[in-house]
Structure formats: structure tokens, C-alpha cells
Structure 1
Amino acid sequence: MNAIWAALIGVGGTVLGSTITFFVQRSVADEAARRGEVERARQERLDAYVAFLSIVLRFRGTEIDRWHCEHEDPDADSTRTARAEARTARAEAIAALSRVLLLAGGDELQRNATDCVDAVGRIHTADTAEERDERITHANFRIRWLSEAAGRDIGASRVELPQLGFS
């Protein structure tokens, strides 16, 4: 009889140990999957922010070129080319903005991303060089704010951003 009890206790202990091991491993696997999903989403937002900021900076350059061409010779071929490049850059910026709007980690970040595109898009409509410079400064402020907010959203450590110039 003692042998039967010993066997039952052994089998029961094995089943209990296996059950506990199963639940612990499942918990560990679930946590690893959750962390993987969080990291994948963070990386996707990072990619969207980097692509957006890169495209917005290119758009800003085309808007500045467009302004110069339109004020030097509005009917020149170079002006038509500058307009076309600016329109293409704007379309790319809006496409990248759509991705940011889908992935961004907050309403304020989404609003500022939209404001970046709008601020850059107003550069070419300035009447004077002083007004253009003010619009560039405003666009730079929006771009800087967005890059810092995006860094906070993805949990990046603080890095010093270079000053954004006029060209």
C-alpha cells in the first residue's frame, strides 16, 4: 500500500510540477510577445517620424528654391521646374503625413505634424525676403518641436538637434 501512495504522490507531484511549469512558461511567452509588439510599434513610429521629417526638410528646401525662382524670374523654365519640384515634395510630405497621422502617439503630435506641412507650404507665398525668413523660422520651429515630441513619443534619449538653417 505504501508503494501505491508513493507512486500516487510521485505522479501527482509530476502533474503539479508540469502544470506550474506550463503556466509560468505561458506567462513568460505572453510577456515576450507583448514586449515584441510594443517594440515593433515603437520602431514603426520611429520609421514614420524619420521619413516624415526627412521629407518635410526636403519640401522646405523646394519651397525656398521656388520662392527665389518666382521672385527672380516668374516666367523662366527654372521657375516652372521649381514649382513642379515643390508640388512633388508637397505630395510626398502629405503621403508621409498620412502615415504619421495613423501611427502618432497623440493628438498634439498629429496636429503639429499637420502644422509642419502647412508652415512649410506657406514659405513660397511670402511677398518679401523678410516675410519669407519669418515663415522659414516658423517652419523650423514646427519641425524642431515635432522632432523633439517624436523623440519623446518613441522614448529616445535626449539628443541635441542641430540648428536648422535657411536653406
Structure 2
Amino acid sequence: MTAIFASVVAVLGTLLGSLATYAIQRSTVRQQQALAGVERRRQERVDAIAVYAEALTTYRRVRMDRWHSVNEDRDDQDTLRRQNYEVRAAAVSARLRVELLVEDQELRKQCRLALEVIEAMRPGITSEEFDQGRNESRTALTRLVDAARKFLEQAQPG
């Protein structure tokens, strides 16, 4: 009888150990999947913000080129006008992607402001207004990057 009792206890102990191992492994897998999801979302945000910053930088360059072209009465005005529309569309598209992925209102505000400041550098403004716009757009891009860095640091897992 003692042998049967010992066998039953051994089987129950083995079964209990197996169930505990299964539960621990399942919990570990869930935690790993959750962390991987958080990191994947963070990386999507980093990519979206980087693409937007790059698009804004390109848009800013084209706006400045276009201003110079119009004010110097160069022959490349039509080309730059078309390029301006293309890069603006890319910038707006990139901004929408950021707004889909980011809930932070300060970062979203800086995204909109940077685009608005760059758009204000239109061909008809004076040289002084252009210089002011160039400086303001550089500052707006810096503020955008600072807001993005702050947001991404707060959104880091762990």
C-alpha cells in the first residue's frame, strides 16, 4: 500500500511540476510578445518621425530654392514649382502617419507648426521675411526633434 501511495504522490508531483512549468513558460511568452509589440510600435513611431523630419527638411530646401528662383528670375521656376507640390505632398503624408501613430499633443503641435513655418516661406515675401522664415523654420525643426526625443524617451518600455 505504501508503494502505491508513493507512486500516486510521485505521479501527482510530476503532473503538478509539468503544469507549473507550462504556466510559467506561457506567462514568459506572453511577456516577451507584449514587449516585442511595444518595441515594434516604438520603432514604427521612430521611423514615422524620422521620415517626417526628412520630408520637412527637403520641403524647406525646395521652398528656399523656389524663393531664390523667383526672386532671381531664373529659368527653373516651373520645375521648382512642380517639385514644391511633390515634396509638400510627401511632407503632409508623412505628418498624417505621425499623427496616426503618436498621441502626444505637444509633438503633434510641433509637427503642424514646422510645416506651417516652412509653408510661410513663399516666393512673394521680402528678403528680410525670407531670412526670418529660414531661421524660424530651422528653430521649428529643432523643436520638433526635441519634442520627438522627449516623447520617445517617455514611451520606452521598462
Could you tell which deviates more after superposition, 34-43 or 133-142? 133-142
Long gaps (5+) in structure 2: none
Using structure 1 for the length normalisation, give the TM-score: 0.87
1:50 maps to amino acid: A
Q: Does 1:16 align with 2:16?
A: yes
Could you tell which deviates more after superposition, 31-40 or 118-127? 118-127
Report deviation, 1:54: 0.7
What does residue 45 of structure 1 align with? 45
What does residue 146 of structure 1 align with? 144
Q: Which stretches of structure 1, 4 residues or longer, exceed 2 Å deviation after superposition? A: 152-156
1:102 maps to amino acid: L
What does residue 36 of structure 1 align with? 36
Report deviation, 1:155: 2.6
Using structure 2 for the length normalisation, give the TM-score: 0.91
Separation in 1 of the partners of 2:124 and 2:106? 27
What does residue 27 of structure 1 align with? 27
How does 1:71-90 map onto structure 2 within 5 Å?
71-73=71-73, 77-90=75-88
Long gaps (5+) in structure 1: 157-167
Report deviation, 1:152: 2.3
Separation in 2 of the partners of 1:105 and 1:22? 37
Could you tell which deviates more after superposition, 20-29 or 100-109? 100-109
What does residue 130 of structure 2 align with? 132
Separation in 1 of the partners of 2:131 and 2:102? 29
- Cα distance change, pair 144–126 in 1 and its aligned pair in 2 (3 A): farther
Indicate if the aligned counterparts of 2:114 and 2:141 stay in contact, CA closer than 8 A. Answer: yes
* CA RMSD after TM alignment: 1.5
What does residue 113 of structure 1 align with? 111
Higher RCO (CA < 8 A, seq sep 6+): 2
1:46 maps to amino acid: V
Query: Identity, % of aligned pairs?
Result: 32
Separation in 2 of the partners of 1:86 and 1:78? 12
Could you tell which deviates more after superposition, 58-67 or 111-120? 111-120
What does residue 67 of structure 1 align with? 67
Indicate if the aligned counterparts of 2:106 and 2:147 stay in contact, CA closer than 8 A. Answer: no
Report deviation, 1:125: 4.8
